[in-house]
Chains A and B, each alone.
Chain A
């Protein structure tokens, strides 16, 4: 099955909406069993994980834990839940091979809590798979285009 550019864009919008609506377990279910979710160090997107500390380097099990954790009251940083809004822009299909598609897009994610607004901006690189007429995520890498995590202070939301 060939998916169209519009179907890819719709999928990314759907994912962003799940996150903004705090449907985090549904979000985790978008990933394949070997799925990965990564945030490399700022300014070093191709860092070697043995030489640098990533912000996030989740396999499928841990991204599921991340989603479940954020729904608990004891995930203090996100309780009560912050208000978030994600925008996806400039969607480019970089490569198609069989049922696998590489997609790159820009993103901005806004988070507000206790009347403070933080904005995360960057580039998302996806490795998507089309199986059983459905798009699933094999890898999602969020490269932040920031100087530092100031003033955000943390990445408590899923980008």
Chain B
């Protein structure tokens, strides 16, 4: 069997076959083996503060309602009427006691139970006594520190086990405020005309930082001359299970608790107060790590938490091998002062947003890779070897991408082997 990923530790060579970005059959395998079996981020519990709150979500290609019932329980319900299949929830978000399918007016409580249908006399008394006509609930929905994930597989390992070593890094984000973190309104929904796996790579790739985002750094350097002295230094780590992280010293201000000369001197006091609270809670060393270090976290397969000059939470799904849909959220401390919240959001849109000075260039880079894959017949392999010659890979190396590819290859190779046995 041909392998899509080759790792030669002795030669320090790691390559990925470029067909993985263009092949329709591989995409089919990914839907079956990855998006239908891995834990996928659906949302943050802060999105549903009150009974009856709901958000419509598309996760792993499924249409879901993320909802808090009158019983206070958060559920993920399949947004499809058990009668004929129409969506029962058409609004993107809101608060409701019931979801009502407009087609034949079947009505469901916000926990999914069928409570009304016209023409009841046409159905036996025992209709739905087994609950099979309620809205179907996603079997597995679990939360880790407020981040909620679903899993569509019949049997799944627990979310905690799945996240494994990545939990340490999610903690560093979740611990930023004792009041908790919240997802802000209005997620940014955009797309890239490229294969979805290229975002997994790009999001933990510090190597591209300078060449791709030079214009952003030039603009920052004018606001903050100190920024040019900072070298992007840190570690790249394979967290196992396909998860990965880069952690490096922040060259820019972080509203959580890292002051920069680009901000007013008076703001220093507020930052110091936040930092001191972190020190009280976690001690000097961990407080410094939370406040002054960036981390780009990749949770396999398609969740990125970028804790940089603001915190973004991003998911992305393939539509075709060469086209993906991205959803980007902003995460922030609940108790943040208005001044720092505005500064954080300003940082976000300037770098992370699709109207900013950086993300559009990432988008372009990924699209140019995809264009390059037109040459796949003669130019077949991507090189992802940087840093294999080092004991501890740097954040600007590619160990963190190899982590993703090892897991991806493991899943897809096993699926292919099963199919070959069947033949």
Contacts and interface: CB of A to CB of B under 8 A. Distances in A.
Contacts of B190: 148-150, 152-154
Contacts, number: 104
8 contacts: A41-B188, A49-B345, A53-B330, A57-B345, A76-B365, A114-B367, A116-B193, A155-B360
Contact of A154 (B184, B212, B346, B354): B354
A133 B222 CA distance: 34
A49 to B, nearest CB: 6
A44 B185 CA distance: 9
Q: For chain A, what secondary structure do more than half of its interface residues adopt (helix, strand, loop), or is it mixed?
A: loop
A55 B215 contact: no
Contacts of A75: 215, 361
Contact of A153 (B212, B214, B338, B354): B354
Interface in A79-110: none
Most buried by A among B92, B186, B193, B346: B186
Contact of B323 (A55, A151, A152, A155): A151
A69 B357 contact: yes
Interface in B243-283: none
A131 B73 CA distance: 60
B364 interface: yes
Interface of B: 92, 184-186, 188-193, 212, 214-215, 219, 222, 323, 325-326, 330, 338, 341-342, 345-346, 348-350, 353-355, 357, 359-361, 363-365, 367, 371
A65 interface: yes
B341 to A, nearest CB: 5
A104 to B, nearest CB: 21
Interface of A: 39, 41-44, 47, 49-57, 62, 65-66, 69, 72, 74-77, 114, 116, 147-156
A51 B185 CA distance: 6
Contacts of B350: 62
Given A69-B215, A149-B354, A50 B188 contact: no
A54 B363 CA distance: 19
Nearest to B359: A154
B408 to A, nearest CB: 24
Contacts of A50: 338, 341-342, 345
Contact of A49 (B192, B342, B354): B342
B192 to A, nearest CB: 5
B361 A76 contact: yes
B324 to A, nearest CB: 9
Nearest to B355: A55
Given A55-B188, A55-B349, A153 B193 contact: yes
Contacts of B326: 153
Task: List 8 A-B pairs, minimum CB-CB distance, nearest first.
Answer: A55-B355, A41-B186, A148-B189, A149-B190, A154-B360, A155-B355, A77-B360, A77-B364
